[in-house]
A and B are shown apart, each in its own frame.
Chain A
Amino acid sequence: MKLITAVVKPHRLDEIKEALQAFGVHGLTVTEASGYGRQRGHTEVYRGAEYTVDLVPKIRIEVLAEDDEAEQLIEVVVKAARTGKIGDGKVWSLPVETAVRVRTGERGPDAL
C-alpha cells in the first residue's frame, strides 16, 4: 500500500475531491497547512513599506491506495490540482506497512 500526500492550493480542493471520487477513491483526509516552495510567499504593501509573507495557506490531502493504483492516483491528483501558476504544490507517496479499519478490524487492502 501507499500513502499519497498532496500539499496544494486550497481552492483546488473541490476539483481534487471530484476527480478522486470519479477514480473510485472512497475516503480522504484534509488538513489545513501553510508553507512555501521555491517561489517563496508573496509581498504585501502597507503605506509603501513592503513585507514578504513567507508562509502561504495550503491544504494537505492524504489518501491511501493499493500499490498498482498509486501511480495513476498521483496523476489524477496532479491533474486536478494544476493551475499552471507558481505555488501549485507537490504530491508524493510513501510505502505503508499496514492499515486497519477501526469499525471491523479488517486489514490491508480490505481496509481501504
Chain B
Amino acid sequence: MAPAITLAAEAPRLSAANTGFMLICSALVLLMTPGLAFFYGGMVRVKSTLNMLMMSFVSLGIVTILWVLYGFSLAFGTSNGLIGFNSHWLGLSDIGLTELWDGYTIPIFVFMVFQLMFAIITPALISGALADRVKFSAWSLFVVLWVTIVYVPVAHWVWGADGWAYKLGVIDFAGGTAVHINAGAAALGVILVIGKRVGFKKDPMRPHSLPLVMLGAGLLWFGWFGFNAGSWLGNDDGVGALMFVNTQVATAAAMLAWLAYEKIRHGAFTTLGAASGAVAGLVAITPSGGAVSPLGAIAVGAIAGVACAAAVGLKFRFGYDDSLDVVGVHMVGGIIGSLLIGFFATGKGQSAATGVLYGDHSWTQLWKQCAGVGAVLAYSLVVSAVLAFLLDRTIGMRVTEDEEISGIDQAEHAETAYDFSGAGGGVIGSVAASAAAAQTKQTKRVDA
C-alpha cells in the first residue's frame, strides 16, 4: 500500500472527495468477487456450476465476519514485523467515525472496508483450482483458517507500516504479492494434497458457458479499477490516475498478446483466450502499476500475456490438476508483475526506487522484489498444503467419487444450475413436464 502523503507539514484532514472515492472503489472491488464467480462458473462443466459460484460467494460472508472480529486488527495493527495487533480494532469496537487512517485523509473505517474486499477475493481466487471435487463444508473451514493463518500475516508483511517486506522496500502496489501470488501458491499447495479430478487428462472438461466467462472477465476488469486506482487511498497527487491508466493499458496488451500466442500455437483466436489474457494483464499490473510508465505497462502486459498463456499448459506436463489455471494465471502473472518492477520502475510513480532499465540501472529493487515474492510463495504454498492435509485427515476434503461423477451441485447444494426438462425442453419435454406436474399435484392431495 501507499506511503504517507505529506501535505506541507500539515496534519492530514478528512477529505470528503477521497473518502467518497474510496467508498466507491471499495464497492468496485466487492463486485470483483461475484465477477470471479462467473468467470470460474462458466469454465466448469454444467454439473459443477453452482458449486463454483458458491465457493466464491461464501467468501463474501465468511471473510467479512472474520475481518470485523479480528482480521483487520491482526493485519494492520502495530507489530514487530510478522503479525500485527491492535486491541481497539477487535470487533471494530473502538474506532471513531472521523478517526483517520494514519497519514491519510480517509477514515479508518473506509480503509478497513477497502482492505476487507481484498481479503474476500483472495481466498475466492484459490477455489478455481479445486473445481468439481471439494466438500463445501471443508472449503468453508479452509477459508476461515487460510485467511487467519496465511492472508492476514502476508497482508501485514506487505502492506502493514511495520511489515518486514514493506520496511525492506518491496513494492506491491495493489496486491500482486499479497493477493495473486499468495492465492496461486495456496492453490498449488492444496491441489498437490487433494489430487486430481476423476477423469483428468482423459475426459473432456470443456467450459460449459463461455459467455458467462466473458461476463465475469468484464466485471473483473471493471472492478479492478477500484482495486488498483483505489490502492493509493486518495487522489491528491495523480498516482491513482497513473494506476488507472496503467491498468487499462496492461490489460489491453496482455489480451492481445495471449490471442497472438494462441493463434500461432493453436491456430485460433479463442474467447477463453481473450478473457484469460485480460485477467493475466490485470494480475501483472496489480503490483507494478504505480511504479511503471504507460509504455512500461504495455511491456508488463504483453510479457504476462505470453507467459501465462504458455504456463497454463504446465499442468498437463507436470500432472497437477489446477482445474481453472489459478497457478498458471494468478501465481505466474503475479510473479511476473512483481519481478518486472525490478526492471521497469521509473522512480516517478509511487516511490523513487528505479529498476534495472532506469535511473542508475541498479539491481537492488529486483532483489527486493525477489525476496518478497519468494517469501510469500514459500509460506503460502507450505502452510496451505499443511492446512489441506489436516482438513483431509479430519473432516475429509473431497466428495466421494460417485458424487463427483454425478455432479457436485446436486451432492453438496441439493440444486442444479439449469433445468433441461419442462416447458423449455421442446414438445416432448412439455408433455413430460405436465405429466410430472399432474403427478406432483396428485401426490400432494394424497398427503393432505
Contact = CB atoms under 8 A, between A and B. Distances in A.
Contact of A45 (B270, B276, B316, B325): B270
Pick the most buried of A44, A48, A49: most chain B CB atoms within 10 A of its CB. Answer: A48
Interface string B240-279: 0000000000000000000000100111101011001000
B273 A47 contact: yes
B167 interface: no
B276 A47 contact: yes
Interface in A16-55: 44-53
Contacts of B206: 44, 46, 51
A80 to B, nearest CB: 27
B218 interface: no
A47 B272 contact: yes
Interface residues of A, number: 10
A62 to B, nearest CB: 18
Q: How large is the interface on B (under 10, 10 to 19, 20 to 34, 35 or more residues)?
A: 10 to 19
B207 A46 contact: yes
Contacts of A45: 262, 266-268, 270
Interface of A is mostly: strand
Pick the most buried of B266, B268, B309, B312: most chain A CB atoms within 10 A of its CB. Answer: B266
Contacts of A47: 270, 272-273, 276, 309, 312-313, 325
Given A51-B204, A51-B206, A46 B316 contact: no
B267 A48 contact: no
A48 B309 contact: yes
Contacts, number: 31
A46 B206 CA distance: 7
B312 A48 contact: yes
Contacts of B266: 45, 48, 50
A90 to B, nearest CB: 26
Interface in B35-89: none
B427 to A, nearest CB: 12
A44 to B, nearest CB: 7
B207 A48 contact: no
Nearest to B261: A48
Nearest to B329: A47
A48 B262 CA distance: 7
A45 B313 CA distance: 12
A44 B262 CA distance: 13
Contacts of A46: 206-207, 270, 272
A62 B204 CA distance: 33
B265 A48 contact: yes
Nearest to B312: A47
Contacts of B265: 48
Contacts of A49: 313, 316
B199 to A, nearest CB: 13
Nearest to B203: A51
Nearest to B273: A47
A44 B270 CA distance: 10
A56 to B, nearest CB: 14
Interface string B305-347: 0000100110010000000010000000000000000000000
A60 to B, nearest CB: 16
Nearest to A49: B316
A44 B230 CA distance: 39
A44 B316 CA distance: 17
A31 to B, nearest CB: 12
A52 B204 CA distance: 8
Nearest to B324: A47
A52 to B, nearest CB: 8
Contacts of A51: 204, 206
Interface of B: 204, 206-207, 262, 265-268, 270, 272-273, 276, 309, 312-313, 316, 325
Given A46-B207, A48-B262, 12 more contacts: A45-B266, A45-B270, A46-B206, A47-B270, A47-B272, A47-B276, A47-B312, A48-B312, A48-B313, A49-B316, A50-B266, A52-B204
Q: Give the 9 A-B residue pairs with the shortest CB-CB distance, closest first.
A: A51-B204, A45-B266, A47-B312, A48-B313, A46-B272, A51-B206, A47-B272, A45-B268, A48-B266
